[in-house]
Structure 1
Amino acid sequence: MTRLAGDPGLWRRARYALGFRLPAENRDWVRHDLTDAGWRVRLLARHLLIMIPVCAALMLLPGEWWLRVMVALLALLTSTFTVAISSDDLRRSRLRRHGLPIPNRRPGA
């Protein structure tokens, strides 16, 4: 797979996943990430990469094993649902943060 122009390195991708703004040299990559087909899947994948370690940490809390599993599962499911239903708003915010135009909505959507 070829790299896109302005493809950030691993460190910048990690910061981007946490919500930080990338430098102007990564603008083309950000535009691709937030406007090309599959942007919702990439948004959810980034969210899961952040939440899985958080849920693993929740599993280390004291208590019955089933309770720890349920707490971690509740955190994962509710946060993923929240990201899924607010994905359009999250994308608009990120595009604005990077100084990129916000795509028009589809007719009838």
Structure 2
Amino acid sequence: MSRTPRRPGPHRWLWYALGGRLPESYREWVLHDVTSKTWLWRHGLRTTFLVGPLSALWLLLPGPLGLRLSLVLLALLVGYFYSFAFAEENAEHRLSKHGYDYGTGKRVRAAAKAEAEADIRARYLARYRQPE
């Protein structure tokens, strides 16, 4: 994909981050979102919108500050751990919700990785394996 598809507005992105389905006109953007080079960073940002408010709320609970901070730290660690453990599955689910076949994200990311590695290999061979 050479161009970035039309991005959703803030309210639509927030709905998408919370697990909602975007209108059909954003279908290409969803594919870009879960297959770009920064897809894991994007996944982390969406996760932050899920665990962040809950963690901030726990800071307001009554009790010793150390206990509340420990609760927030544990919640963030567990939340991010499970989120990243199932990041690929989450990406595939988002794609299937938007009309793509299951496995499309993994296939597109693998093709992009192979293309990048082929380019790196070609540059390496051109530089260090020149015929004498």
- TM-score under structure 2 normalisation? 0.73
Unaligned 5+ segments in structure 1 are: none
Q: Which has the higher helix share?
A: 2
Task: Write the distance in 2 (CA, Å) between the matches of 1:4 and 1:10.
Answer: 17
Task: Write the distance in 2 (CA, Å) between the matches of 1:21 and 1:34.
Answer: 14
Task: Write the distance in 2 (CA, Å) between the matches of 1:5 and 1:89.
Answer: 23
Structure 1 residue 5 corresponds to structure 2 residue 5: yes
Unaligned 5+ segments in structure 2 are: 111-132
RMSD of Structure 2 on Structure 1 (CA): 1.9
Say whether the 8 Å CA contact 2:5–2:32 is kept in structure 1: no
Structure 1 residue 64 corresponds to structure 2 residue 91: no
Task: Write the distance in 1 (CA, Å) between the matches of 2:34 and 2:56.
Answer: 28
Q: Which residue of 2 aligns with 1:25?
A: 25
Q: Which residue of 1 aligns with 2:16?
A: 16
Bigger RCO of structures 1 and 2 (CA < 8 A, at least 6 apart): 1
Q: Which residue of 2 aligns with 1:76?
A: 76
Asked which structure has the greater CA Rg, the reply is 2
Structure 1 residue 38 corresponds to structure 2 residue 38: yes
Q: Which residue of 1 aligns with 2:88?
A: 88
Task: Write the distance in 1 (CA, Å) between the matches of 2:11 and 2:74.
Answer: 29
Distance apart, 1:12 and its partner CA: 0.2
How many residues align structurally?
105
Distance apart, 1:4 and its partner CA: 3.6
Task: Write the distance in 2 (CA, Å) between the matches of 1:47 and 1:70.
Answer: 19
Q: Which residue of 1 aligns with 2:128?
A: none
Distance apart, 1:28 and its partner CA: 1.3
Distance apart, 1:35 and its partner CA: 1.0
